Amino acid sequence: MQEELLKKCEEVAKKWATDPVFDEATRAEAQAMLDSEDKSQLIDSFYQTLEFGTGGLRGIMGVGTNRMNIYIVGAATQGFANYINKAFPGRKDLSVVVGHDCRNHGREFAETVANIFSANGIKAYLFESLRPTPEISFAIRQLGAQAGVNVTASHNPKEYNGYKAYWDDGAQVLAPHDVGIINEVNAVKMEDVKWEGNPDLIQIIGGEMDWDYLQAVKEAMVDQDVILRQKDLNIVYTPLHGTGRVIIPEALRSWGFQNIHVVPEQMVIDGNFPTVVSPNPENSEAMTLGMKLGTKLNADLVIASDPDADRLAIVCRNSDGEWEILNGNQTCMMFAWYIIANKKKLGQLKGNEFLVKTIVTTEIIKRIADKNGVEMMDCYTGFKWIAALIRENEGVKKYIGGGEESFGFLPFDKVRDKDSPASICLICEIAAWAKDNGKTLYDLLMDIYLEYGFTYNKAINVVKPGKSGADEIKAMMENFRQNPPKELAGSKVVLSKDYKTLEARDADGNVCKLEMPDTSNVLQYFTENGSKVSVRPSGTEPKIKFYVEAPGELKSAADYKAACKKAEAYVDEITKSLGV
């Protein structure tokens, strides 16, 4: 088997080493891999062609079919262009929006994308420089484009780049378009790619779209009066070297906040992310410089966006005045609570509103929605599924917010992807409301736990790189399906859900169908004591994820740290039960 794989990889690599369609540096690198005694790099670089996952196309930059480079970007774009032309036959005014973030090769890839679309008769609106992912989504809708591409690897390490494909509603592509695009991409040979752009079909966009987007972001505001009363809220913001650097401070000022400070070292655009180990706001290390400046300035809160400014992270002061990093479930809970509570108070709820969360996100959000008579919908991980529910219910029900545990939220419907500029403005409004009521964000979080119940959430990522890693992950999922756990940390599993077969099975063996728009390689287990475990291979990274939510006991805010410690120990017992 390994010999067959190596032979296949060598055949493809030889083409990359000799075909004049590839540049000299690429040919030389492919030849070096062929000549090397260690074939692991050759196999990892050529064993597959990157495919669209939950976040589109994403991979390590380098030479090969399993790497991000202009040739893979070019082939993907030619296939995408072919699909667009087939999806809208006879239409003469086809257009796409093209953007990129701060990553190395980002501009080069984006210009390559724009050139290929224009060479295929499709007008490309190319942003003049780096822009947030949500602004790309907004621009597709604003310009009436048929599709879009954002060159970004989101919060991945510096070695990565990626390609997010969007459809005409501003959301990332779903079936049947995702499969259709992949089929077109797979049919493309390098000699088929039309590299020579048509300058007449490339239009540079920038400031005007920024203005329109910032005006739209203000629609996420719930109560401007509270902002005006607390306009001096002391805010520290960092873009982690990425695209939020200009847009987010401007958005905050447009909402009425006047006391905004930025982390100067991280305002520098740099795809090497020199001030952090990884530009992922989920990692507490990435917030170090922000908290340092926050301490110096006695800030109320510290906020970060990731490189493409779709995710956000929040740090607030706890009851001891120390910095407390909130996790994605907690921020999602606060958004849900505030939007419902204050829209209700201001008479803005008409009775047809709905919230969305992903299946791996905390169940406390459902409790909040249920208690307040607001519909809550569950969907798969990835904002394209939240966008699909917005589209399905457009004109019938009113979307008021949706999010997931991985630090993403969308508080309005003018965008169809995670939106950190709008979410950051809204969390600052929530902090202003809390301050107006003599509280901090931390106090508000404790209030929510005490009213709706405390749970502890932990995500465990098991990284398995390369072909061998992909095989391991596949085997792990198969093992869970063949040998599902009967108990977790001593608590009986009373319900199992398999989203690949769309079946739910209770402890007595009764089976019912799951109502979902598609299948997904996700398993879930619910136990007698209220724990929830979700198991899911990442669609964009070489890892398998375990999401654990365990109930705990919280009688007062003073008990929070002890409750977390006790619940975390219980989560560790659950993960041991899973063999993780």
Q: Which of 462, 532, 447, 547 is nearest to 494 (CA)?
A: 532
Question: Which pLDDT does position 529 carry in this prediction?
Answer: 94
Residue whose token pair is 């991979």: 59
Average pLDDT over all residues of the chain: 95
Q: Are 136 and 187 in contact (CB under 8 A)?
A: no
pLDDT computed for residue 432 by the predictor? 98
- What pLDDT, on a 0 to 100 scale, did the predictor assign at position 1? 56
Mean pLDDT of 426-434: 98
What pLDDT does 467 receive?
77
Q: Specify whether the CB–CB gap between 94 and 198 falls below 8 A.
A: no
Q: What is the mean pLDDT of residues 196-224?
A: 98
**Does the pLDDT at position 477 exceed 70?**
yes
At residue 53, the pLDDT reads: 57
Contact present, 421 and 244 (Cβ < 8 Å): yes
**Residue 439 backbone zone (phi > 0: left; psi -120 to 50: alpha; other: beta):** beta
* Angle between helices 70-87 and 106-119 in degrees, nearest 10: 40
Q: How high is the pLDDT of residue 343? A: 97
Q: Which amino acid, 402?
A: G
Phi and psi of 305, rounded to 5°?
A: -120, 155
Give the span between the Cα atoms of 341 and 437, in whole angstroms. Answer: 14
pLDDT digits 0-9 by tens, 395-428: 999 999 999 999 999 999 999 999 999 999 999 9
Say which range, 43-47, 467-471, 548-552, has the weakest mean pLDDT: 467-471
pLDDT class of 57 with cuts at 50, 70, 90:
confident
Of the pLDDT bands very low, low, confident and very high (cuts 50, 70, 90), residue 176 is confident
Pairing of strands 487-488, 408-410: unpaired
Instruction: Read off φ and ψ for residue 510, nearest 5 degrees.
Output: -70, 135
Annotation marks residue 154 as catalytic: yes
Instruction: For 317-348, write each residue's pLDDT tens digit.
Output: 999 999 999 999 999 999 999 999 999 999 99
Measured between alpha carbons, how far is 170 from 199 in angstroms, rounded to an integer? 25
Q: What is the pLDDT of residues 85-135, one digit of tens each?
A: 999 998 999 999 999 999 999 999 999 999 999 999 999 999 999 999 999
pLDDT score of 540: 63
pTM of the model: 0.95
Q: What is the pLDDT of residue 175?
A: 84
Nearest one of 95, 101, 67 to 81, comparing CA atoms: 95
Buried b (16+ CB within 10 A) or exposed e, 362-378: bbbbbbbbeebebebbb
Whole-number Å distance between alpha carbons of 353 and 346:
15
**Taking residues 379-389, what's their average pLDDT?**
95
User: Among 433, 423, 421, 432, which Cα is nearest to 342's?
Assistant: 433
For every residue of 453-482, which 3-state class applies, written as one string?
CCEEEEEEEEECCHHHHHHHHHHHHHHHHH
Higher-pLDDT residue of 464, 13: 13
Task: Give per-residue pLDDT as tens, 505-518.
Answer: 999 999 999 999 99
Q: Domains for the chain: give ranges and CATH numbers.
A: 1-47 (no CATH), 68-205 (3.40.120.10), 214-452 (3.40.120.10), 455-578 (3.30.310)
Mean pLDDT of 7-20: 95
Mean per-residue pLDDT, 439-449? 97
List, in sequence order, every residue forming a beta bridge with 304; answer none if it has no partner. 238, 313
Predicted pLDDT of residue 434: 98
Handedness of CA 319, 320, 322, 326 (dihedral sign): negative
Is the predicted pLDDT of residue 141 greater than 80, yes or no?
A: yes
- pLDDT value for 52: 62
95, 118, 154, 534: the active-site residue: 154
Q: What percent of the chain has pLDDT over 70?
A: 98
Q: Which residue has the tokens 């996790």?
A: 327
